[in-house]
Each structure stands twice: as structure tokens, then as C-alpha cells.
């Protein structure tokens, strides 16, 4: 068993004794993945020991779990369709690193542990050294084991899709690696200039919430608020805090606090270089231009209004509703009774959670009693909950009951497909079909590591018979599903004859049909005038001849698909099987009697042939009767004279142990 396979199987047993270790560092969980800039090289000096959570893969290995062992995760968006190339270089080239790529568009990051349809490509090779995806690779799937290639072909990325890359450190060391993105034709670098997009003040004028056009580095925000200035007031900014930076590396929203509340009126907030000598930087270090500004107005306090619903994915089991202004976290009833769900689904709201900052939030997550799996319009309506109110803004004004907002969901989809095989003698044609129900508009068929199709009902010709596996991944733009079907093309036909290749004159030959396939008929021609249709035909004899003679045996087989194949087999009928050693030989290179050996030793086993000179010196020995003495010893031609030989063997017919001795004359 290869070492890699042994270690993987051993890990399965160990998992019963050792539970997975929690990964506490940022970047070691899917939800806190490193944001990727395609032009950056990521260097991880050390790798924390943790993880070992099972990852669904298309690799099939009985008893083996594929896990995010000592992992780091990377997230990126495709901004221009094309291929993805990358290289993982261990600092110790003796370390074994594995990886898997997921398309999480419309899905939560943690679904990588449960949803096999998110799979794009993987490499779980048992080899150590550099790994990744490049032009040197030929397959999108490389499973466990020694000798498995370390590089895959570059996977295709789709513009607008979001991806997660898992880097798993199989070797039990903390030695790190570097990760670079190179060679692909797709773009994972956002080249748009980051800007401020929206500013909203709290109802009491003590805080201003800033929304950005895209994710920016948490580390680029000066905590003293010096990256910003508010005009039209003497109040100064005393603090800036990013939302979500405690659980990630980037943010697109932040809160500015002022030393004193801003009175009702109109203001401008602009960005400048702070005490950290920059404005805000995106993941590729592009900065929001100095002087970029937003206007906002502080009005007499108004109740918070339902503004929008964050886009839902496939079969959502929760809904995130957004208010135009922050609401108090403690005004949201935990049982979700401030909201009611109506529409196409029978699902109900069973709870509500909030992610708070300073006891306020603009987003409330509503937990559903069951996922919404049908297409249609759904409506969320505000009402007074079990806590006696709807929700309250930061100045404790209650939102209006009856306000509502609608959202659309999509049907779930099924990748189950049908197929019909048209069998033929050289290749089989398979007609695949998918019903395309529930708005499916994307199909990805995989027939082999190098053959695929994006048609709804493709036709594929299998050039090889035997076990086949076809996979289909479908999507309607929101929901996706995959299905894999294995089947056997059982019309392989190969005519094969087994029998003796040499035959002594008095022996009978036994021939057997060893053909591959479902044979329904056969026709033998033994070359001696006899024919047969039996699988194991009668023994055959061949006439004696003065010289050796070759006979051609022919077998034609027919399978259940009316296909024919023919095998030919040559049997040599010897003129003599009497074992003897010549009394003289002349190794002069004239092609006549140039060697000394046991003639016709076809029925000898455990043979040993030796030649001595007249002084008893051993000059030649062999256990193969076709290995012949050429009259020399250690490259030196021996003189004319008499030489002694011995021959010992067991007769394969009689099992008699034969010992012979004689002399021969070497003539030059």
C-alpha cells in the first residue's frame, strides 16, 4: 500500500480518538478567508495546527476522509472570465500541501463542508513540493496517493462569481509556504477606484456611518478617525471603527464618532491621509482619492424604515432585512415576532439575530422554520412583537407597523438526467438529456478528465468500453445541483486464444477461447483441416514432419451486439523432441553447427548444462537450453579438442530425473 494511502486511512481511525481542533486565527476558517489581490504574493511563515474538518470531494477512496488539515483559506471574485493559475511553494519542499477550489456564488462560506456542488477543482496528491494549477496540468481532479501529479490544469473562472481556495498542510509541521497567482487568463483583481458611497448620521448626531464602494483593508483605517474630516461644524472626529474587522481582514462600512453631537443641519464628510499616512486602501493597495466626499443631513429624528433585503441565495433558511438607519439591538425580539413572512412559501419566521455595534445595527437576520425552495414573491412585514413594539431607532422612535418589503426566490433544481446508449462495435454513442426544469440555464457535463459539454442534451461517443462515470452540474443562476451516474459499456470484444506455442510430434494440443466480451458464438479453424464451435474444443493433433512446421489457428467470435473479432495463433509443430547433445561442433561463424547446447530440450525442466575442459575446469553452464556455448571462455576462444559435458533435467511428461554425461569435439 502506498505510504500516502496508509497515512490517510490511519487518519480515519485517529479521528475517532481526536476531535478536530478549532482554528482560531483569522484566515483559517472559510468565513475569515484572506481577501486576494491577483498581483500579490501571500507568504505564510508558519502554519497553525488545527482543523481536520471533512471536505466533500469527487475523489472516491473507501474509508478515507479529505480534510482541511492545518488550513488557510483565500477568497476572491472573478472580474474577467478566464483560467486561474497559481502556485503554492512550501518553504520546506519536503512538505505535502493539498488544495481545493470552491465556487460559493450565492452560498455561505461554511457550505464548503457540506455542499459537494460547490466543487471546482482539487489536488490531494501524496507527493511533496510545489503544487497548484498551471499549463503543465492535464486534469481538474487529482486524488490521494503517491505518484499523483502535483499540478492541475488551470480551472475556468466565471465573471462575477465568488470563489474560495483552501490550502491544506498535510505534513505535521508548522513550516509555511508562499502563494502566488500567475499564468491564468482570468482576472481576480478589482481595478476600479475605491470611493465613499454613502454617509448616514445617527439620529442623535453622535455618529456617522460611512459606506464604501468595495472592501478595504481593516489595517488601513486609523482608529483615531484622522482619515476623515467633517465640515460645517466645530465638533471633531474622535474615533473610527470598522464593521466586521474583528472577524475578517476587510470591511466596506465604518462608524465615525464625534466629540459632541452634531445639531440638525447639512454637513460634508471628506477623506484625507490620516496619522497612518494613507486614506483607505483596498486589497491591492489602491487608495480612496484624497478629497473624496459625501454630504449628509441630520434631520429631526424619524423612525427607521425597511430599506432592502440582502440578496438571497438558493433555498434560503434565513433572510437579512436592512433598515435605512440603525435600530437598537435590544428592541429586536429574539423570537422574530417583530416580523411576519407571507407569500409563496409556507415557511414562517422562528427567530431574529443581530450583529451589534454600540448596541445598534442596520441589519436583522430572520431565521426561517424551513428553507424557501420555490420560485415566487415573498413579503416581510413589520408588526409589534412579543416585546410590545416593532423596532426602535437609536433615539427610541418606533418603526411603523405594517411597513413591508418584498423579495424573490428561485426554485431549487435537480441534476438528475437520462441517457440512452447506442451500442456499436468500435465505439458507443450516448445521448444524454436533462429536462431543464425550474429555470435551469446552465449545464456542465463531465464525461472524462478531458471531455465535457455545456449543452442541455449532449451526444458523446465513448471510444473505450467498460465502466464509465458521467457528472452533471446544473444551475438556474441561483440554485445549483450535481449528479453522477456510473454505468458499464459491456460490449467490449476481444478475441483471444490460449494454447501451446510448441508441440512435439506425438502430443495433442488443447486450445481455449479466452476472449473478452459476451460471446454468443465462435468459429474455430485449427489449420489441420478441423473446425469447431465450442468454447473449449477437442484436443487437436498435427501430422509429423521431417522439419519443423507452423500451423495457424484462427478463432472468430460474435458477441450479443452482433460484433465480430478474430484472433490468430501460431503453433509450431516440432519434428523431434528427443533431447541430445552433439558429438562435435565448429564455432567458425558459418551458421552451421556453431554452438553446443541440449537440442530439443522442450520437455525439460530444472535443466542444468555444463561444459568442462580436459583439466576439469568449468567453462560454461546454463539453466536455459536456448543459451548456447560458443566455444569460448571469458572471451577467449578455446582450442580444438575434446570437451566433457553434463546434462541434468526432469522430463515434464514422465517426471523422470535424467542425468547424462558425454564428450564433444570442438573443431576449428
Domain termination residue (choose one: 489, 518, 550): 489
Give the whole-angstrom CA distance, residue 151 versus residue 135.
9
What is the rounded average pLDDT for all residues in the chain?
Answer: 92
pLDDT greater than 90 at residue 291 = yes
Note the pLDDT tens digit of each residue in 117-153: 999 999 999 999 999 999 999 999 999 888 999 999 9
Assigned domain for 160 exists: yes
Contact (CB, 8 A) for 410 and 439: yes
Rounded CA-CA distance 443/471 in Å is: 10
**Are the CB atoms for 141 and 122 separated by under 8 Å?**
yes
In this structure, the answer to whether residues 341 and 458 fall within a common structural domain is: no
Are residues 335 and 386 in contact, defined by beta-carbon separation less than 8 angstroms?
yes
pLDDT of residue 51: 87
CATH number at residue 595: 2.60.40
Instruction: Establish if 188 belongs to a structural domain.
Output: no
CA 50/CA 88 separation, integer angstroms: 19
pLDDT tens, residue by residue, 166-175: 999 998 888 9
**Residue 187 belongs to some domain of the structure:** no
The answer to whether residues 164 and 157 touch, using CB atoms and an 8 Å cutoff, is no
In a shared domain, residues 147 and 231: no
Q: Which domain holds residue 84?
A: 3-181
Band of residue 19 on the pLDDT scale cut at 50, 70, 90: very low
At residue 11, the pLDDT reads: 39
Q: What is the mean pLDDT of residues 609-621?
A: 95
Say if residue 174 is in the same domain as residue 48: yes
Q: How far apart are CA 606 and CA 649, in angstroms?
A: 5
Domains identified in the chain, total number: 6
Confidence of residue 220 (pLDDT cuts 50, 70, 90): very high
Phi-psi region of 63 (alpha: psi -120 to 50; beta: other; left: phi over 0): left
- Burial (0-12, 13-18, 19+ Cβ within 10 Å), 481: buried
User: Within this chain, do residues 427 and 508 fall inside the same structural domain, yes or no?
Assistant: no
Cα 105 from Cα 108, distance rounded (Å): 8
DSSP string across 549-609: EEEEEEEEEEETTS-EEEEEEEEEEPS----EE-SEE--SSSSSS--B-EETGGGEEEEEE
How high is the pLDDT of residue 638? Answer: 95
Average pLDDT (381-408) is: 95
Confidence band, pLDDT 50/70/90 cuts, at residue 661: very high
Adjacency order of strands within the sheet including 71-77: 34-35, 71-77, 162-169, 97-103, 119-123, 141-142
CATH of the domain at 134: 2.60.120.380
Residue 220 has φ and ψ, to the nearest 5°, of -90, 0
d(CA 645, CA 625): 13
Residue 1 has pLDDT above 70, yes or no: no
For range 400-418, the mean pLDDT? 95
* Burial call 276-312: b when 16+ CB within 10 Å, e when fewer: bebbbbbbbebbbeeebbbebebeebebbebeebeeb
- Which domain-ending residue is among 381, 409, 437? 409
Report if residue 278 sits inside a domain.
yes
* Residue 459 · residue 447 · CB < 8 Å: no
Instruction: Among 489, 517, 534, identify where a domain stops.
Output: 489
**Do 87 and 69 fall into the same domain?**
yes
> 14 and 79: one domain?
yes
Q: Which neighbouring-strand residues pair with 361?
A: 327
**Strand-strand pairing, 657-666 and 584-585:** parallel
State the pLDDT at residue 223: 95
pLDDT in the model for residue 5? 41
Based on the fold, state whether residues 311 and 276 are members of the same structural domain. Answer: no
Q: Is residue 319 part of a domain?
A: yes
Q: Longest C-alpha distance within the chain, in Å?
A: 129
Q: How confident is the model at residue 10 (pLDDT cuts 50, 70, 90)?
A: very low
3-state secondary structure of 404: strand
Print the SS3 string covering 430-450.
EEEECCCCCCCCEEEEEEECC
Query: Do residues 468 and 505 both lie within one domain?
Result: no
Which CATH number covers residue 219? 2.60.40.1220
**Dist CA 189 CA 194 (whole Å):** 13
Q: pLDDT tens across 581-591, in order? A: 999 999 999 98
Does 267 lie in the same domain as 292?
A: yes
Are residue 374 and residue 438 in the same domain, yes or no?
A: no
The rounded distance, in Å, linking the Cα atoms of 568 and 556 is: 9
pLDDT of residue 302: 86
How is 265-295 classified by DSSP, letter by letter?
EEEEEEE---TTSSS-BBTT-PBPPTT-EEE
Residues 589 and 564 in one domain: no
Nearest to 567 by CA among 512, 494, 493: 494
Residue 81 in any domain: the answer is yes
In a domain, 189, yes or no: no
Q: Exposed (0-12), middle (13-18) or buried (19+): which is 64, by Cβ within 10 Å?
A: buried
608 in the same domain as 565 = no
Q: Flag whether 126 is in a domain.
A: yes
Is the CB of residue 149 less than 8 Å from the CB of residue 134?
no
| DSSP code of residue 144 | S
CATH number assigned to the domain comprising residue 512: 2.60.40.10
Instruction: Report residue 219: phi and psi, to 5°.
Output: -70, -15
Who wins on pLDDT, 506 or 606?
606
d(CA 358, CA 328) in angstroms, rounded, equals 9
Residue 20, pLDDT score: 55
CB hemisphere CA count around 448 (13 angstroms): 11
Q: For residue range 539-574, list pLDDT tens digits in order.
A: 999 998 888 899 999 999 999 999 999 999 999 999
* Cα–Cα distance for residue pair 2/235, rounded to 1 Å: 70
Q: In what order do the strands lie in the sheet with 618-622?
A: 584-585, 657-666, 641-651, 604-612, 618-622
Amino acid at each position: 500500500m502506498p505510504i500516502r494511502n496508509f497515512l490517510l486511512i490511519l487518519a480515519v481511525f485517529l479521528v475517532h480518538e481526536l476531535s478536530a481542533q478549532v482554528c482560531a486565527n483569522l484566515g483559517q476558517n472559510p468565513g475569515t478567508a484572506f481577501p486576494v489581490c491577483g498581483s500579490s504574493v501571500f507568504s505564510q511563515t508558519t502554519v497553525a495546527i488545527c482543523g481536520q474538518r471533512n471536505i466533500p470531494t469527487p475523489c472516491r477512496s473507501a474509508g478515507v476522509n479529505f480534510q482541511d488539515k492545518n488550513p488557510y483559506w483565500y477568497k476572491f471574485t472573478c472580474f474577467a472570465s478566464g483560467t486561474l493559475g497559481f502556485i503554492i511553494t512550501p518553504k520546506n519542499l519536503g512538505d505535502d500541501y493539498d488544495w481545493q477550489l470552491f465556487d460559493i456564488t450565492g452560498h455561505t462560506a461554511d457550505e464548503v463542508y457540506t455542499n459537494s456542488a460547490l466543487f471546482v477543482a482539487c489536488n490531494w496528491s501524496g507527493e511533496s513540493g510545489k503544487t497548484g494549477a498551471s499549463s503543465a496540468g492535464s486534469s481538474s481532479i487529482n486524488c490521494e496517493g503517491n505518484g499523483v501529479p502535483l499540478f492541475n490544469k488551470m480551472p475556468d473562472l466565471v465573471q462575477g462569481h465568488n470563489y474560495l481556495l483552501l490550502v491544506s498542510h498535510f505534513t505535521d509541521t508548522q513550516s509555511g509556504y508562499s502563494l502566488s497567482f500567475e499564468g491564468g487568463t482570468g482576472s481576480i483583481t478589482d481595478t476600479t477606484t475605491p470611493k465613499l458611497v454613502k454617509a448616514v448620521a445617527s439620529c442623535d448626531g453622535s455618529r456617522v456611518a460611512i459606506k464604501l464602494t468595495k472592501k478595504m483593508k481593516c489595517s488601513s483605517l486609523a482608529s483615531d478617525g484622522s482619515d476623515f474630516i467633517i465640515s460645517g461644524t466645530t465638533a471633531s472626529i474622535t474615533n473610527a471603527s470598522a464593521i466586521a474587522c474583528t472577524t475578517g481582514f476587510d470591511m466596506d462600512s465604518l462608524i465615525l464618532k464625534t466629540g459632541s453631537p452634531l445639531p440638525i443641519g447639512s454637513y460634508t464628510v471628506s477623506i484625507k491621509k490620516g496619522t497612518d499616512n494613507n486614506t483607505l486602501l483596498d486589497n491591492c493597495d489602491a487608495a480612496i482619492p484624497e478629497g473624496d466626499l459625501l454630504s449628509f443631513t441630520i434631520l429631526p429624528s424619524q423612525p427607521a424604515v425597511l430599506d432592502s433585503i440582502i440578496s438571497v441565495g438558493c433555498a434560503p433558511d434565513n433572510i437579512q432585512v436592512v433598515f435605512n438607519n440603525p435600530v437598537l439591538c435590544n428592541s429586536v425580539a429574539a423570537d422574530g415576532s417583530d416580523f411576519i413572512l407571507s407569500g409563496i412559501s409556507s415557511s414562517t419566521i422562528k427567530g431574529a439575530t443581530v450583529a451589534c455595534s454600540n448596541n445598534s445595527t442596520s441589519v436583522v437576520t430572520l431565521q426561517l422554520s424551513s428553507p424557501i425552495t420555490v420560485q415566487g414573491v415573498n413579503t416581510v412585514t413589520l408588526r409589534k412583537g412579543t416585546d410590545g413594539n416593532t423596532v426602535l431607532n437609536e433615539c427610541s422612535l418606533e418603526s411603523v407597523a405594517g411597513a413591508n418589503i418584498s423579495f424573490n426566490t428561485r426554485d431549487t433544481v435537480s441534476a438528475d438526467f437520462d441517457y440512452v446508449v447506442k451500442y456499436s462495435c468500435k465505439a458507443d454513442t450516448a445521448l444524454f438529456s436533462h429536462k431543464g426544469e425550474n429555470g435551469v440555464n446552465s449545464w456542465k457535463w463531465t464525461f472524462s478528465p478531458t471531455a465535457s459539454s455545456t449543452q442541455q442534451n449532449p451526444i458523446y461517443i465513448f471510444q473505450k468500453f467498460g465502466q464509465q462515470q458521467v457528472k452533471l452540474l446544473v444551475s438556474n443562476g441561483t440554485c445549483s445541483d450535481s449528479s453522477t451516474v456510473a454505468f458499464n459499456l459491456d460490449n467490449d470484444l476481444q478475441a483471444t486464444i490460449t494454447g501451446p506455442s510448441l508441440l512435439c510430434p506425438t502430443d495433442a494440443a488443447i486450445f481455449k477461447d479466452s476472449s473478452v466480451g459476451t460471446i454468443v458464438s465462435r468459429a474455430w479453424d485449427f489449420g489441420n483441416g478441423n473446425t469447431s464451435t465450442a468454447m473449449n474444443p477437442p484436443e487437436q493433433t498435427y501430422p509429423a514432419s521431417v522439419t519443423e512446421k507452423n500451423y495457424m489457428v484462427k478463432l472468430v467470435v460474435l458477441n450479443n451486439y452482433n460484433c465480430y473479432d478474430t484472433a490468430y495463433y501460431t503453433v509450431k509443430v516440432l519434428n523431434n523432441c528427443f533431447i541430445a547433445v552433439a558429438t562435435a561442433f565448429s564455432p567458425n561463424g558459418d551458421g552451421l553447427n556453431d554452438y553446443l547446447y541440449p537440442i530439443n530440450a522442450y520437455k525439460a525442466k530444472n535443466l542444468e548444462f555444463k561444459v568442462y575442459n580436459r583439466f576439469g575446469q568449468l567453462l560454461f553452464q546454463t539453466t536455459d537450453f536456448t543459451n548456447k556455448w560458443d566455444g569460448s571462455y571469458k572471451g577467449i576462444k578455446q582450442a580444438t579438442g575434446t570437451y566433457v559435458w553434463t546434462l541434468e533435467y526432469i522430463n515434464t511428461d514422465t517426471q523422470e530425473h535424467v542425468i547424462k554425461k558425454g564428450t564433444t569435439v570442438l573443431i576449428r
